[in-house]
Amino acid sequence: MTVPFGFWDVSLLLAVTAIILLVTSEMLSPHYGKINILINRRRLKKMAIATSIAFLAAVAIRIATIL
């Protein structure tokens, strides 16, 4: 049984998720405006940064395999 996702697909998914999380965390910042959504902003920001780091690690692995 083969996995339908390749390494390229996973890194693309990480990139899209990181962008969505970073934009959402910035839009929920208290300086942007009054938003009455009950989301833990600190946890969202940490997950956005963690997803970005995972994407950068995937890019680094891809570059290392090319070289």
DSSP 30: T
pLDDT computed for residue 36 by the predictor: 66
What's the rounded Cα separation, in Å, for the pair 32 and 26?
A: 8
Is the residue at 48 inside a domain? yes
**SS3 category, 54:** helix
Question: What single letter denotes the amino acid at residue 7?
Answer: F
Is the residue at 27 inside a domain? yes
Structural domains counted in the chain: 1
pLDDT computed for residue 37 by the predictor: 63
Query: What is the rounded (10 degree) CA torsion for 51, 4, 9, 58?
Result: 60
pLDDT computed for residue 31 by the predictor: 59
Please give the residue range of the domain that contains residue 30: 12-66
Residue pLDDT tens, the chain, 67 long: 677 888 888 888 888 998 998 888 877 766 556 666 667 778 888 888 899 899 899 889 888 988 8
Is the residue at 2 inside a domain? no
As a whole number of Å, the end-to-end CA separation of the chain is: 30
Judge if pTM exceeds 0.85.
Answer: no
Is the residue at 30 inside a domain? yes
Is the residue at 7 inside a domain? no
